[in-house]
């Protein structure tokens, strides 16, 4: 069935080519003290995305800190509208980009529970208890189905990641997401459960992040886009200054339908498309100015969830204690001081010491709560 092996030298090659020396079986066994194969290098984080997340979380804290002061200043109202037009879309697009590989594998579901569900439960309860202890007003009910204050983002992130495998099956996911966002803007019956208005109205940005590749981010980081972003930001501020006394800022929060904002139903889809275009343009301008090199704040970008979840206690606590009532805070230099304090505080909340203290509730391991994944264990043994 197989041809017989020849005993002549030419059976294995030319006659003048020496055969390899006979090796003892022990020659193939590595010495116990011999170094093994080098481990593959750890995947490095992209400094651009960490920088973008840090700068976005600073803008989030800035918007929350300015909110109690904006009514008395038209300039501050315009700055507030500009920030709210793109800071969460910029954050959500990156969240979608890093959710591209999410599926229903056990290890990824475990990270979803420990990194999203558990922090949501802990901080949703903590914020309600904090309000009851510090504030003198009516007590906020503890409800895991009705996210309070900034907790909506974790509820939305949970829903978005759970539907990610389905979104990746759809032929035109971004068009579908835009259609759902427009429908949500005219559907007051959606209610407040899991803040589904925001889930649907911000959905296009998450789906866009799922569809992007690294080269798409490189396109908006070109020098020409950086130069063009300056007049775009200036024009956006001018429009915001004009619109601030004429427009309900609730449109930018995307937590209500058109009817709930006191507008005709048909303005919902129109405003959805208009704000989508505005947000994408300003987000592209924001990305254009995000540095791609490693900076002093790059490492903080990996801990932005800590700054996001914790800074709300300080902002709400300042409001409960009446600190915003001070007259000097409602002047331009007082508003600048508040901005600097907000940036400094959220920066400190992203540092390693804070991370070590609150890791047990923001990034708990919880190995005791899950069964051993046989596939993951086999994969770890194979890597070892």
CB contact at 8 A, 90 and 206: no
CB contact at 8 A, 319 and 312: no
Compute how many other C-beta atoms are within 10 angstroms of the C-beta atom of residue 34.
Answer: 7
Q: What is the pLDDT, as a whole number, of residue 300?
A: 96
Residue 154 to residues 15, 51, 100, 168, 199, Cα–Cα distance (Å): 73, 21, 17, 21, 10
CB contact at 8 A, 164 and 102: yes
Report, as ranges of residue numbers, the positions in the chain whose pLDDT lies below 50. Answer: 1-40
- 380's tokens: 């770890």
Backbone angles phi, psi at 279, to 5 degrees: -65, -40
Q: Return the SS3 of 5.
A: coil
Q: Return the SS3 of 20.
A: coil
Cα–chain-centroid distance for residue 360? 20
Distance CA 242, CA 362 (A): 41
DSSP state, residue 29:
S
Q: What is the pLDDT, as a whole number, of residue 43?
A: 62
Q: What is the pLDDT, as a whole number, of residue 8?
A: 38
Helices and strands, number each (H, E), in the chain: 17, 0
Distance CA 97, CA 114 (A): 20
CB contact at 8 A, 191 and 81: no
Compute how many other C-beta atoms are within 10 angstroms of the C-beta atom of residue 17.
Answer: 10
Distance CA 362, CA 343 (A): 21
Cα–chain-centroid distance for residue 147? 17
Tell me the Cα Rg of the chain. 27
Q: What is the pLDDT, as a whole number, of residue 98?
A: 95
Nearby residues of 267 by Cβ (< 8 Å), 6 or more positions away: 258
Compute how many other C-beta atoms are within 10 angstroms of the C-beta atom of residue 271.
Answer: 21
DSSP state, residue 47:
H
CB contact at 8 A, 167 and 147: no
For residue range 178-198, list pLDDT tens digits in order. Answer: 999 999 999 998 877 889 999
Q: What is the pLDDT, as a whole number, of residue 28?
A: 40
Cα–chain-centroid distance for residue 156? 11
Compute how many other C-beta atoms are within 10 angstroms of the C-beta atom of residue 250.
Answer: 13
Nearest to 209 by CA among 15, 338, 53: 53
Distance CA 116, CA 164 (A): 15
CB contact at 8 A, 290 and 55: yes
Distance CA 76, CA 62 (A): 11
Compute how many other C-beta atoms are within 10 angstroms of the C-beta atom of residue 170.
Answer: 12
CB contact at 8 A, 317 and 134: yes
CB contact at 8 A, 151 and 192: no
């Amino acid at each position: 069935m197989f041809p017989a092996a020849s005993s002549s030298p030419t059976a294995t090659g030319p006659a003048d080519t020496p055969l390899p020396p006979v090796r003892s079986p022990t020659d193939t066994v590595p010495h116990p003290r011999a170094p093994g194969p080098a481990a593959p290098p750890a995947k490095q984080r992209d400094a651009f995305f960490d920088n973008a997340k840090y700068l976005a979380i600073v803008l989030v804290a800035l918007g929350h800190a300015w909110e109690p002061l904006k009514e008395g200043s038209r300039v501050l109202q315009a700055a507030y509208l500009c920030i709210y037009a793109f800071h969460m879309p910029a954050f959500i697009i990156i969240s979608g980009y890093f959710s591209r590989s999410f599926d229903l594998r056990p290890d990824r579901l475990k990270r979803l529970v420990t990194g999203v569900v558990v922090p949501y439960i802990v901080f949703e309860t903590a914020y309600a208890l904090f309000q009851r202890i510090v504030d003198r007003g009516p007590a906020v009910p503890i409800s895991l189905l009705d996210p309070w204050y900034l907790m909506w983002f974790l509820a939305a992130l949970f829903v978005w990641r759970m539907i990610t495998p389905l979104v990746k099956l759809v032929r035109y996911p971004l068009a579908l997401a835009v259609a759902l966002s427009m429908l949500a803007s005219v559907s007051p019956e959606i209610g407040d459960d899991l803040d589904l208005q925001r889930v649907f109205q911000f959905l296009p940005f998450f789906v866009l992040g799922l569809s992007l590749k690294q080269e798409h981010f490189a396109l908006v980081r070109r020098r020409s886009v950086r130069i063009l972003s300056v007049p775009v930001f200036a024009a956006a501020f001018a429009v915001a200054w004009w619109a601030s006394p004429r427009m309900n800022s609730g449109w930018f929060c995307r937590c209500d339908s058109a009817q709930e904002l006191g507008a005709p139903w048909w303005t919902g889809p129109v405003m959805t498309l208009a704000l989508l275009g505005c947000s994408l343009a300003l987000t592209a301008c924001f990305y254009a100015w995000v540095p791609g090199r490693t900076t002093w704040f790059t490492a903080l970008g990996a801990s932005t969830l800590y700054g996001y979840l914790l800074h709300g206690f300080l902002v709400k606590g300042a409001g409960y204690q009446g600190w915003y009532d001070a007259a000097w805070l409602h002047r331009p230099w007082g508003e600048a001081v508040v901005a600097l304090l907000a940036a400094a505080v959220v920066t400190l909340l992203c540092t390693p010491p804070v991370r070590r203290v609150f890791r047990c509730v923001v990034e708990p391991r919880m190995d005791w709560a899950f069964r051993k994944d046989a596939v993951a264990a086999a994969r770890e043994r194979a890597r070892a």
